[in-house]
Amino acid sequence: MRGLKEMNVIVTGGAAGIGAAISRRLAEEGARVGIFDLDADGAERLADEIRAEGGSADAYAVDIADWDAVQAGVAKRADDAGFIGGLVNNAGWDRAVSFLESDHDLWRKVIDINLYGPLNMTKAVLSRMNEEGRGKIVSMASDAGRVGSSGEAVYSACKGGIIAFNKTVAREMARTGIVINTICPGPTDTNLLDSVDPSGRLKEALAKAIPMRRIAQPEDYPGAVAFLLSDDAGFITGQTLSVSGGLTMAG
Ligand SMILES: NC(=O)c1ccc[n+]([C@@H]2O[C@H](COP(=O)([O-])OP(=O)(O)OC[C@H]3O[C@@H](n4cnc5c(N)ncnc54)[C@H](O)[C@@H]3O)[C@@H](O)[C@H]2O)c1
């Protein structure tokens, strides 16, 4: 992919699941990856693994829900690696429960991570990109934000919010050379899905509902992310791309 060599990219939630697959792929493309994760040990392990394979990666223990921690983490990454040319808002969290049974403590945690998290990261990185007049942001939302998902009402609200937020910021930044796009994963074989579906029965049912008849693997996403960070995507902004085996087909 053009333009990824030496690009300094932050991947949030890069220690596990989809974020780890994205971090590995970006490093393979020659990018310098800053892995931001709550799980400091997991992030460090992945950074070690990427470096052992000849790539460039550094780990940062950051809670994306904490604005002060985000500002400090982004400043440290810029000190360590220079201009931050790319941001992948990937970290997310949920616990499945019907809306009627959910309470404010759960809402707050879901909103802090899935909505405030990307807002915090985008704000901290975007002001630096704006000074340089270039940069690319990709956020991992969810098909839940496009079509809903039972047991995930507040999470879906956050993901729908991210889709709309990215479109709006993409418009505000359109004349600066900064592009902002959204990818919507479908059900994916990661810890997050295991935590909402410990029996595995939901996964079987979901696979039947997906036109391509399988749930996703983390490796289904990095190609689309790399493309949207690359020079080839320089004229694409404010778009929402579902990568979900045909689960949703939005016009
Ligand atoms: N797995 C799915 O079925 C699925 C479906 C649609 C969308 N998504 C989205 O894809 C993204 C990645 O999900 P995943 O399935 O790989 O999840 P995962 O649970 O496997 O990994 C998430 C990573 O984010 C980190 N994280 C969580 N909260 C954080 C915080 N506050 N600050 C920093 N790091 C934090 C975790 O430590 C972990 O390393 C999320 O945004 C998720 O909402 C996942």
Q: Does domain 8-240 have CATH number 3.40.50.720?
A: yes
pLDDT in tens, 79-106: 999 999 999 999 999 999 999 999 999 9
Q: Which residues contact 43 (CB under 8 A, 6 or more apart)?
A: 14, 15, 35, 36, 37, 59, 60, 61
Our mutation pick for probing the ligand 1 site, out of 188, 215, 241, counting the most ligand atoms within 8 A of Cβ, is 188
pLDDT in tens, 109-143: 999 999 999 999 999 999 999 999 999 999 999 99
Instruction: Check pLDDT > 80 for residue 251.
Output: no
Mean pLDDT of 22-40: 98
Q: Given the structure tokens 């359109």, which residue do they identify?
A: 174
Long-range contacts of residues 195-203, Cβ cutoff 8 Å, at least 24 apart:
195/94, 195/95, 196/94, 196/95, 196/96, 196/151, 196/152, 197/96
What pLDDT score does 46 carry? Answer: 98
Q: Residue 147 Cα, ligand 1 centroid: separation in angstroms? A: 19
Query: What span, in angstroms and rounded, lies between the C-alpha atoms of 139 and 239?
Result: 11
Mean pLDDT of 9-26: 98
Query: What span, in angstroms and rounded, lies between the C-alpha atoms of 10 and 36?
Result: 7
Our mutation pick for probing the ligand 1 site, out of 11, 18, 22, 221, counting the most ligand atoms within 8 A of Cβ, is 18
Q: Given the structure tokens 């809670």, which residue do they identify?
A: 63
Q: Residue 112 Cα, ligand 1 centroid: separation in angstroms? A: 13
Query: Which has the closest alpha carbon to 240: 172, 126, 161, 187?
Result: 161
Domain assignments of the chain as residue spans, ordered by start: 8-240
Q: Which residues line ligand 1 (CB under 6 A)?
A: 12-13, 15-19, 37-39, 42, 62-65, 90-93, 113, 117, 140, 142, 185, 187-188, 190-193
CB burial string 110-131: b at 16+ within 10 A, e below: bbbbbbbbbbbbbebbbebbee
Q: In what order do the strands lie in the sheet with 240-243?
A: 56-61, 32-37, 8-12, 86-89, 135-140, 178-185, 240-243
pLDDT in tens, 152-205: 999 999 999 999 999 999 999 999 999 999 999 999 999 999 988 888 898 999
Query: Where do the DSSP E strands lie in 202-250?
Result: 240-243
Give catalytic residues, as residue numbers: 155
- Residues 130/175, Cβ–Cβ less than 8 Å: no
Give the count of alpha carbons within 13 A of 141, CB side only.
31
